[in-house]
Each structure stands twice: as C-alpha cells, then as structure tokens.
Amino acid sequence: MPPRALDPAGVALVDKPAGPSSFAVVSQIRRLTGARTGHAGTLDPFATGLLLILSGRATKLAPQLVGLDKRYLTEVDLRARTSTGDPEGDVVETLEPPDERELERRLATLRGEIELPIPAASAVKIGGVRAYALARRGIEVEMPLRRTTVYALDVVAYNGATVTLDLRVGSGTYVRAIAHALGGHCRTLRRTAVGPFEIAEAVTPDAFEPRLLLAEADVLARVERSRAAEGEA
C-alpha cells in the first residue's frame, strides 16, 4: 500500500456518536481526506463526544495533544456495578444507592491525585494480551493501578439512583473506574472538551468536510495559550 498523503493537513474536531468505535470514525475521516490519519485519544463505543482526529502532516502533533486534560459528562447508575463499568457489561453486583451525604463523602475521596485499578475491559496489555480480550475469555487478572488527577468532580443532578457528574481530569483517567469506585457504572459518557477544544466546535462524522480542518499553527497556538493560562492560575 502506498504511503498516505500528507495533505490535507490539520485537526478535525469530530462529535462521535454512540455505537461505532473511535477507529471506525477515524477510518471514515480517512476515506474523505485520502490522507494519513491518526487520533489524540479514543472513546469507548458506547461513549459520545469530542475526538481530535489528525490528518496528513498534522499527525506529528499527536504527542502534544494526547496529554491534554479532558472534560466529561457522565450518568452513573449507583444501583449496580457491571463487568465493564459501562452498560455493555454484565451486572456483577447490586447495591443500595447512597444518600446525598454519603455520595459527597465518596466523591471527596475521588478528587485530586487518585489511584484506581484500570478497568478489566480496557486496551491495556497484561502479559502481552489486551485486558479486554482476557475479560472476554472469562480470565480474571489483577489489574494494575493508574495514578491520575481529577481536577473537578461536580454533581449536576442526583435522583437517588443515578447521578450526573461533570468531570475535568488528567490524561489517562478512566471515568468507568471512577464510576466503579462510587459503587456503580457509567450509563452514559460524553467527552465535552479536550484541552482548549470544545464539543461545541465539533461536527458529526457525516457532516465533516476537509475544509473544516483546523490548521496546525492554530492548533498549537491554542494549546500554548491554554497552558500559559493554566500556569498563571
């Protein structure tokens, strides 16, 4: 196969729907551009929201974008834990939802620097094999811990069974692990921001056109301004 084209170059802000994998969305954009294509962080198939898809020469920007903070909205069902931490898994434990005081106590333990097990249904390799592949075979393994930062974890709504949370987290944070630590699983998950890039700027995969690519210089300038603002805060 000949090497992919370096043009058009830029970054696409795409609003991923629930269902397809992130790689399917990347492939859809690649078919439209005909260029080399990459990404700056994936979303699970059930999740929706912002994907940064890199086209052409802009694929070299990946190291500067994958480490950006992320922001999410998630609805957590506190009545049950599942094998995957999301609605696609089997229920492995049913629980009594906490009252508001207990919920806030649990949330307080999940703000700041935290360390939680990586979900079993993840792409992390255990002994050279993807964890999700082991989970599908019914093989239980001890998952490694990952240290991340939760900058903000706020309750949007709580009805006594499910809680909607607004989170801003460091790169590499598994929201499903946070839901599990709270005593539930993610019913929905939507990424609303990646660093300075917000979902309001994104288009659906079907609405994407190459002319919508953000220029490399503009992307870098926004990242630099964002980091400078964080340094002044």
Q: Which residues are catalytic?
A: 44
Spatial neighbors of 30 by CB under 8 A, at least 6 apart, are 4, 37
Q: Which two tokens stand for residue 79?
A: 């009545």
CB 82 within 8 A of CB 185: yes
Is residue 102 packed enough to be buried (19+ CB in 10 Å), middle (13-18) or exposed (0-12)?
exposed
Q: What is the CA radius of gyration of the chain?
A: 19
Distance CA 178, CA 41 (A): 18
Residue 160 has, within 13 A of its CA and on its CB side, a CA count of: 0
Spatial neighbors of 27 by CB under 8 A, at least 6 apart, are 37
